[in-house]
């Protein structure tokens, strides 16, 4: 699936290798503009997918806290999400 993610008038990710899972678009890390990501101290554990690590999205000096996440070591059945980043908290995602 092809999709684009943007916030604050800036494309933060675009790929033709997006995985849709649990209602969210997961972009390969290689297609995410990491200059807009800042590692967060936030981490949670999702009962199905496993540990979730968060990133702030920072564009033009504006910070969108914990607006992106990755699942470093997905639980069995969710392996397709490894090495991918998803967005929320106002980050617009559009299927192309």
Q: What is the pLDDT along the chain (96 residues), one digit of tens a residue?
A: 999 999 999 999 999 999 999 999 999 999 999 999 999 999 999 999 999 999 999 999 999 999 999 999 999 999 999 999 999 999 999 999
Rounded Cα–Cα distance for residues 28 and 60 (Å): 23
Rounded Cα–Cα distance for residues 9 and 85 (Å): 19
**What pTM does this model have?**
0.95
CATH code (residue 22): 2.170.150.40
What range does the domain containing 17 cover? 3-95
Q: What total of structural domains would you count in the chain? A: 1
C-alpha closest to that of 88 among 15, 22, 2: 22
Rounded Cα–Cα distance for residues 96 and 9 (Å): 17
């Amino acid at each position: 699936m092809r999709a684009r993610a943007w916030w604050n008038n800036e494309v933060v990710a675009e790929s033709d290798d997006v995985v849709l899972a649990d209602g969210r678009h997961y972009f390969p890390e290689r297609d995410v503009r990491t200059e807009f990501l800042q590692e967060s101290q936030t981490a949670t554990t999702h009962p199905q997918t496993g540990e979730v690590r968060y990133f702030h999205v920072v564009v033009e000096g504006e910070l969108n806290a914990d607006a992106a996440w990755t699942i470093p070591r997905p639980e069995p059945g969710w392996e397709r999400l490894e090495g991918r980043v998803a967005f929320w908290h106002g980050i617009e995602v559009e299927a192309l």
